[in-house]
Amino acid sequence: MSNIKIEIRQEDVSKIKEICASYNRDPQELINILHACQEHFGYLPAEVQEVISAETGIPVAKIYGVVTFYSFFSMTPKGKHPISICMGTACYVRGAERVLEEFKKELKLQVGQTTPDGKFSLSSLRCVGACGLAPVVLIGDKTYGRVAPDDVKKILKEYE
Amino acid sequence: MHILVCGGTGCQSSQSDAILSNLRDEIEAKGLSDKVQVILTGCFGFCEKGPIVKIIPDNTFYTQVKPEDAQIIVEEHIIKGRKVDRLLYRNPETKDAVGDSKHMGFFKKQLRIVLRNCGFIDPENIDEYIARDGYMALGKVISEMTPQQVIQEIKDSGQRGRGGAGFPTGLKWEIASKNKSDEKYVVCNADEGDPGAFMDRSVLEGDPHSVLEAMAICGYAIGASQGLIYIRAEYPLAIHRLKIAIDQAREYGLLGNNIFGSDFSFDIKLRYGAGAFVCGEETALIHSMEGLRGEPTIKPPFPAESGFKGKPTNVNNVETLAAIPIIILKGANWYNKIGTEKSKGTKVFALAGKINNVGLIEVPMGTTLREIIFEIGGGIRDGKKFKAVQTGGPSGGCLMEKHLDTPIDFDNLVAAGSMMGSGGMIVMDEDNCMVSVAKFFLEFTVEESCGKCAPCRIGNKRLYELLNQITEGKGSMEDLDRLRNMSVVIKDSALCGLGQTSPNPVLSTLDNFMDEYVAHVKDKKCPAGKCKNLMEYYIIPENCVGCTACARVCPVNAIAGERKEVHQINHDVCIKCGACKDKCKFDAIIIR
């Protein structure tokens, strides 16, 4: 499991319990519960999964299996400005790979990592459906369209 | 008069919200609020030139509108009746402005049935859907038809499922209706996973009620009272609009207990996906809805016998459902006259890649690839040469020049070595390396394989490794045979649709672009100049003017040369990033 150990605060435990209760602690609602918890915490550390397990009666190993199965769920915290590069086919044929390379180079990060200061995290995703704007980069909620490798420095400057 | 502003994801990413509010302010400031309505609609499909603003009734089609253009649109067009020339769409060949959407090449060949309301109504207002005969089909089936008649109508229409496999919709409903149970479920599969396909999202964002209405009709036909929409969490706007639509439909009594005063009750809940491509497979989708890992199981039993919570479950794709209300209203005999002998109706395609008009289009089955790419799509970008078109997403194949005149339907695409899939259509030009494209799709499959069966988990990984070797110049001719043999074995032995189709990109590129594979293996060359290990950048002395632009942009200082003298690239240092080639204005840098 994740090597990050966090202290989970009492109020966070209450929040998880509240979320589980809103779904009647129904094991079939596990994915909705995980969505709600990730929205609240930003990620799903092992400690959160343990509380969900206690609430719903689903073994923690099963929860871990579900969390790691779906790419939307993450066990590591994302950066303050999460950067996602669309690697859908449309973006790929229009050169998304080189844009991703440029971000990796500029931030000295690999996909799935977060900068030590917690500012940026880098991920690739499959098709946001804005194929007319390919290649597309998302930073937080902001969408950048028709991104060329040359634009990367300029884009990152906006967040300094 | 109506001003329609596109509120699809593509246009919203380029500030269509600000355009909308500026237009509303402008209309109000000029005291025109009672005469002119400004409406946020779903996607027009012409994403390439977004954001789009359309004026009704004259169908003026403004492209690439900026928020600050609101003033001129209102002052010139709305008040003075003069079209704003600089915002009109221009014919790419003649450069003439095109006054209305009816005369645009992009729309001329289209027939919009599934997308009938997208870009026309406000998706967040149920009254607009009702004004376009919305929920009339539901009223008709409940008051005038028996469930058997509804199923017969859909069977007669000849509609086949748009999710990929093309299974006849009416037959699916019939099987689910015949299985007796105290509870049955209608599931809408909105887990649109094919990278580069966005038709389901556009329908849900632009016309959510059509899907809700169709699910209720299906519920009536098969005897279900509960509907579930399994939607990707990556589609926040579609989720938002679906929630609004469900609330409004409940408020109007179109969902809930005793619909239209009958004893038929039906309600719909949302379930969220969490980013797993395999969940598009119906058994995997059902497991995911049950809170489990989205792993497929062997069929039979089919979901129609034992699906969600072990009850009979009918799973249909968004695009399939969106056509149902209009089939009921206009009749099976109207629908089955559109399309080809074995594929009826229309198909929505997401046109993307190296093409002029990226966007969402809907054409009758039987339209040729050439018509789609060169007439609707406006041809290849930057005057480059067409090389291939990839249909069917990661399960499909790459078709070439000789397939362009094939009329598209489910069976013809399979015969040509590809498939319909959900309708992604990615166009590639001479700069795309087909071995790399095959590798790209295999990389996707390897990442998305759930790991349950060995052929998919291990076989695809080996395919990927072989392709990777070839792109690095380490492949042999035996590897090509190995690729083909392994592909066939995976297809024959994998558990679910994902594994059974994942070698298609490899097989179709081997069939259609063998010379490119041979060039990689024998000559150690990548004809498209994409594979880094197989290429080197050179400066042509005759073209180089010594402007130093390349040397300045080179990230590793691999280019040397005095000002106004011919430059050279040091191949020991060069990392082949291509920055110099992009920067050179004199075409002096080539790849060999």
Residues B161, B290: one domain?
yes
* CB-based contacts of B488, cutoff 8 Å, min separation 6: B503, B507
Residues B557, B498: one domain?
no
Beta carbons of A87 and A104 less than 8 angstroms apart: no
Which pLDDT band, with edges at 50, 70 and 90, does A5 fall under?
A: low
Residues B173-187, mean pLDDT to the nearest whole number: 96
Using the beta-carbon criterion (under 8 Å), do B353 and A73 form an inter-chain contact?
Answer: no
Beta carbons of B420 and B519 less than 8 angstroms apart: no
Using the beta-carbon criterion (under 8 Å), do A87 and B450 form an inter-chain contact?
Answer: no
In a domain, B579, yes or no: yes
* Residue B64 scores a pLDDT above 90: yes
State the CATH number of the domain containing residue B568.
3.30.70.20
List pLDDT tens digits, range B103-115.
Answer: 898 999 999 999 9
In a domain, B526, yes or no: no
In angstroms, the CA B579 to CA B549 distance is 10
Q: Give, in order, the Cα–Cα distances in Å from B339 to each of B110, B334, B464, B540.
A: 13, 11, 37, 53
Residues B34, B88: one domain?
yes
List pLDDT tens digits, range A66-108.
Answer: 999 998 899 988 889 999 999 888 888 888 999 999 999 999 9
ipTM of predicted assembly, 2 dp = 0.87
Element (H, E) at B239: helix B236-251
Residues B42-46, mean pLDDT to the nearest whole number: 91
Helices B514-521, B460-471: inter-axial angle, 10-degree rounding? 60
Residues B325-331, mean pLDDT to the nearest whole number: 97
Residues B379-393, mean pLDDT to the nearest whole number: 93
Strands B589-591 vs B537-539: parallel, antiparallel or unpaired:
antiparallel
Pick the last residue of a domain from B429, B461, B481.
B429
Q: Does A12 reach chain B within 8 Å, measured CB to CB? A: no
Pick the last residue of a domain from B402, B429, B456.
B429
Q: How far is A145 from chain B (nearest CA, A)?
A: 8
**Chain A residues in contact with B352 (beta carbon < 8 A):** 89-90, 93, 131-132, 134
Beta carbons of B493 and B456 less than 8 angstroms apart: no
**pLDDT, chain B, mean:** 94
Residues B408-432, mean pLDDT to the nearest whole number: 91
In a domain, B291, yes or no: yes
Q: Count of CB atoms within 10 A of residue B372's CB?
A: 22
How many H-runs (helices) and E-runs (strands) does chain B carry?
25, 19
| Maximum C-alpha span of chain A | 51
* CB-based contacts of B591, cutoff 8 Å, min separation 6: B529, B535, B536, B537, B538, B581
In angstroms, the CA B343 to CA B158 distance is 7
Beta carbons of B230 and B242 less than 8 angstroms apart: no
* Residue B447 scores a pLDDT above 70: yes
- Residue B260, SS3? helix
Of B291, B248, B233, B223, the C-alpha closest to B124 is: B248
List pLDDT tens digits, range B454-467.
Answer: 999 999 999 999 99
State the CATH number of the domain containing residue B442.
1.20.1440.230
In a domain, B340, yes or no: no
* Euclidean distance between the first and the last CA atom of chain A, given in angstroms as a whole number: 33
Residues B24, B158: one domain?
no
Which strand ranges, in their side-by-side order, compose the sheet holding B60-62? Answer: B37-41, B2-6, B53-56, B60-62
Q: Does A127 reach chain B within 8 Å, measured CB to CB? A: yes
In a domain, B110, yes or no: no
Residue A77: its pLDDT value, please? 87
Residues A134-159, mean pLDDT to the nearest whole number: 91
Which pLDDT band, with edges at 50, 70 and 90, does B196 fall under?
A: confident
Residues B308, B424: one domain?
no
Residues B546, B460: one domain?
no
A135 to chain B: nearest residue by CA?
B353
Q: How far is B321 from chain A (nearest CA, A)?
A: 20
DSSP letter for each residue of B433-462: -HHHHHHHHHHHHHHH--SSSHIIIIIHHH
Which pLDDT band, with edges at 50, 70 and 90, does B530 fall under?
A: confident
Q: Does A24 reach chain B within 8 Å, measured CB to CB? A: no
Q: Does A151 reach chain B within 8 Å, measured CB to CB? A: no
Interface test with chain B among A92, A102, A153, by most B beta carbons within 10 Å: A92
Residues in chain A: 160
In a domain, B111, yes or no: no
* CB-based contacts of B99, cutoff 8 Å, min separation 6: B60, B83, B88
**Chain B residues in contact with A90 (beta carbon < 8 A):** 195-196, 352-353, 358, 426
Residue predicted with more confidence, B124 or A3: B124
Using the beta-carbon criterion (under 8 Å), do A90 and B358 form an inter-chain contact?
Answer: yes
Using the beta-carbon criterion (under 8 Å), do B235 and A129 form an inter-chain contact?
Answer: yes
* Residue B18 scores a pLDDT above 70: yes
In angstroms, the CA B86 to CA B63 distance is 9
Beta carbons of B281 and B496 less than 8 angstroms apart: yes
The total of structural domains in chain B comes to 5
Residues B410, B455: one domain?
no
Could you give the dihedral angle defined by the CA atoms of residues B373, B378, B384 and B388, in that order, rounded to the nearest 10 degrees? -10
Which pLDDT band, with edges at 50, 70 and 90, does A1 fall under?
A: very low
Which strand ranges, in their side-by-side order, compose the sheet holding B397-400? Answer: B359-364, B346-353, B424-429, B386-391, B397-400
Which range is least confidently modeled, A14-18, B12-16, B203-207, B483-487? B12-16
In a domain, B115, yes or no: no
Residue A6: its pLDDT value, please? 66
CB burial class (10 A; 0-12, 13-18, 19+) of residue B93?
A: exposed
In a domain, B54, yes or no: yes
List pLDDT tens digits, range B250-262.
Answer: 999 999 999 999 9
Element (H, E) at A122: strand A120-125
Of B113, B108, B45, B44, the C-alpha closest to B345 is: B113
In angstroms, the CA A39 to CA A73 distance is 10
Pick the last residue of a domain from B429, B448, B477.
B429
State the CATH number of the domain containing residue B48.
3.40.30.10
* Residue A3 scores a pLDDT above 60: no
Beta carbons of B326 and B137 less than 8 angstroms apart: yes
**Chain A residues in contact with B196 (beta carbon < 8 A):** 88-90, 127, 131
Residues B566-584, mean pLDDT to the nearest whole number: 89
Q: Count of CB atoms within 10 A of residue A23's CB?
A: 18
* Residue B177 scores a pLDDT above 70: yes
**Chain B residues in contact with A125 (beta carbon < 8 A):** 234, 275
Residues B325, B354: one domain?
no
**Residues B551, B557, B562: CA angle, nearest 5 degrees:** 45
Using the beta-carbon criterion (under 8 Å), do A65 and B47 form an inter-chain contact?
Answer: no
Residues B53, B151: one domain?
no
Beta carbons of B109 and B123 less than 8 angstroms apart: no
Residues B203, B84: one domain?
no
A29 to chain B: nearest residue by CA?
B291
**Chain A residues in contact with B428 (beta carbon < 8 A):** 93
Phi-psi region of A6 (alpha: psi -120 to 50; beta: other; left: phi over 0): beta
Residues B449, B360: one domain?
no
Of B493, B495, B490, the C-alpha closest to B466 is: B490
Residue predicted with more confidence, A9 or B184: B184
CB-nearest partner of A130 from B13, B197, B428: B13
List pLDDT tens digits, range B82-94.
Answer: 999 999 998 877 8
DSSP state, residue B414: H
Of B15, B420, B198, the C-alpha closest to A131 is: B198
Residues B174, B284: one domain?
yes
Displacement of CA B271 from its chain's centroid (Å):
21
Domain region containing B582: 536-591
State the CATH number of the domain containing residue B409.
3.10.20.600
